Amino acid sequence: MQRAAWNSLIIAFWTTIISVVLGTAASIAIARSRSKWVRGCDLLFMSPLLLPALAFGFAALVYINKLGLSPSIPLLILGHVIVCVPFILRTTVAALSQLDPALLDASHSLGGSQWMTFRRVTLPLIAPGLGSGAFLAFMASFVNVPVSLFLADERNEVLPIHLWQQIDTNLDVRTAAASGLIVIFTLALMLIAERFAGFTRQMR
């Protein structure tokens, strides 16, 4: 169980990092454009939240088998990224919609480059939304069952699947204790997100 929990933490960590990078880039592109093509991409990015989770997991397994690959940790992280990027996308786009364009124009007029403007102006202002999305992405990856069920290999078990198997075969006090720790862990992360990112404000 400890090894499964460690695997879940590692997968959730890398899923969150990759999702933040991809989600932030996509959010900026969507917020700055009004073309129908970009709006179509927005719907495409959100589609993993609309599809049944088990159907997506099974389709991902069939697809990687067609490519001649087998379930592994990198592919599991990739699957988690696909279903977690929408969380980053929604909260970050909402934060960008409240960003005053005059601040960006002022930065450019004072000689700031695109990268400096993003790092010194845009990023600090959208940090609460980005942090809220990162929290949602981390928890969605950590407790994910449908994608992990199909893309995790037999040598690298993750905690949700391990607990599911324990409940199905032999429910004991360790399973209840692990579930309680997950609840406490989630509440602690929520308090941290509320303290530093204004989680409840971003969810309104």
Distance CA 128, CA 149 (A): 32
Domain count, the chain: 1
Out of 2-11, 153-162, 167-176, give the one with best mean pLDDT: 2-11
pLDDT (average), residues 133-158? 87
pLDDT number for residue 46: 80
- Hey, which bits of the chain come out as E strands? none
CATH number at residue 25: 1.10.3720.10
Task: Please enumerate in sequence order all residues whose Cβ is within 8 A of that of 200, keeping only pairs 6 or more positions apart, or say none.
Answer: 194
pTM to 2 decimal places: 0.83
Distance CA 30, CA 43 (A): 11
CA atoms lying within 13 Å on the CB side of residue 88: 27
Compute how many other C-beta atoms are within 10 angstroms of the C-beta atom of residue 182: 18
**Computed from CA positions of residues 59, 75, 6, 92, in that sequence, does the dihedral angle turn out positive or negative?**
negative
Q: Which residue in 28, 141, 174 sits closest to 89, CA to CA?
A: 28
**Computed from CA positions of residues 89, 93, 95, 101, in that sequence, does the dihedral angle turn out positive or negative?**
positive
Compute how many other C-beta atoms are within 10 angstroms of the C-beta atom of residue 156: 16
- pLDDT, one tens digit per residue, over 19-59 is 999 999 888 888 877 777 777 777 777 877 778 888 888 88
pLDDT number for residue 18: 95
* CB-CB contact of 189 with 132 (8 Å): no
User: Dihedrals φ, ψ of 21, to 5°?
Assistant: -65, -50
Boundaries of domain holding 43:
2-203
